[in-house]
Homo-oligomer: A and B are copies of this chain.
Amino acid sequence: MGRLARDVAIIGVGQTKFGEHWDLSFRELGIQAGANAILDAGIDSGKIEGLYIGNMSAGLFMDQEHIASMIAEEVGLTKTNIPATRVEAADASGALALRQAVFDVASGSSDIVVVGGAEKMLDVVSDVASEYMNATGDNTWEGLFGATIPGLYAMMARMHMNRFGTTREQLALVSVKNHKNGSMNPLAHFQNQITVQNVLRAPPVAEPLGQLDCAPVSDGAAALVLCDLRTARDLCPDPIRISGTGQGSDTLSLSNRSDLTTLGASRQAAKAAYEMAGIGPGDIDVAEVHDSFTIGEIIAIEDLGFFPKGKGGLAVEDGSTAMGGQIPINTSGGLKARGHPLGATGIAQINELVLQLRGKAGERQIKGATRGLAHSVGGTGGTALVHILEVV
């Protein structure tokens, strides 16, 4: 277990706007993101040797499994019968697709592959969508007894507040920061700024979490083009190297965990990714983390080693995670403001980092960023992935 046999880089990124796409199908969203990524890479699509798709919910939301084949067909890749692979780890599906594609290229099996994530969630009514979301946690021992995903995150929040003195306002500030960042991202689901008062007065979902502590249900897709680093140097002026990939798992149900204020899967994923990259949390310039709920971001920035355990709330409050702070978190707007089309989220995080490391993030550019970290969580932490990206 250790270093990859070949270095792997990203040479193209693409994303649809995240949000409500009443006029676009799942297939159309996937095509748009994929075409954007291939155009950005500037490669002939005939050079693509494989397709990886992260998707959680096509079975439940659309009665359709086997969607890698469907997307390959829609984008014209079945003409040459190239492999198309779907992976699923709840809302970490996109990040998992990236990791599997990295292994494919690192193993020597493929040189160039496309990785995409897509989700079409708004075609079912919201009650049904919420029920389906329970399938990302332990439906047998939690969902069927009424413990929804927001309810489970609310338990984590209560425990964090109780043990570390994290405040309701600190939770709210995560959302306020991410909406501010999202207001500078034209592809974000929400571009409106909000205040702490807005968050505190929003309808409760599962107390202490209210509506503005929760990432929205979104439609959207994102894609990227992956390439072995040697080939990438010939094809691309600014390849971004994936210097670390880490993955961890944990119990699907919270009831079997010893501590609700930390995600073991995140810690394991971070450890493995830092080790592979040969760096530590202090070397990261910008990070996208999994804020499906505001408490998620606070726990994440602790588990990733950016701040000591219990100090995440304070870090948000004192501006350490804002643009220009010690470690800017979720410059894209995060899941809260950029939107959260489950399978697309992990890829969109990577795409934001690629823009940052290319120096092409516009208004939200972090000056001189050379290393970025992306952190993605499935459900309530049954799976977590961390990727580290570096300027070559």
Q: Which residues of A contact B (CB under 8 A)?
A: 1-6, 49-51, 56-57, 59-60, 62-66, 68-70, 72-73, 77-78, 80-90, 96, 99-100, 102-104, 106-111, 134-140, 143, 245, 247-253, 256, 264-265, 267-269, 378-379, 382-383
Contacts and interface: CB of A to CB of B under 8 A. Distances in A.
A304 to B, nearest CB: 14
A31 to B, nearest CB: 14
**Chain multiplicity (copies):** 2
Contacts of A57: 59, 65
Given A90-B65, A100-B85, A249-B78, A106 B267 contact: no
B83 A247 contact: yes
Contacts of A89: 66, 68-69, 85-86
Given A89-B66, A252-B73, A383 B264 contact: no
Contacts of A139: 62-64
Given A66-B135, A83-B268, 10 more contacts: A4-B109, A59-B60, A64-B135, A65-B88, A65-B90, A66-B378, A69-B89, A81-B248, A81-B264, A83-B269
Contacts of A107: 4-6, 102-103, 106-107
A80 B103 CA distance: 22
Contacts of A96: 85
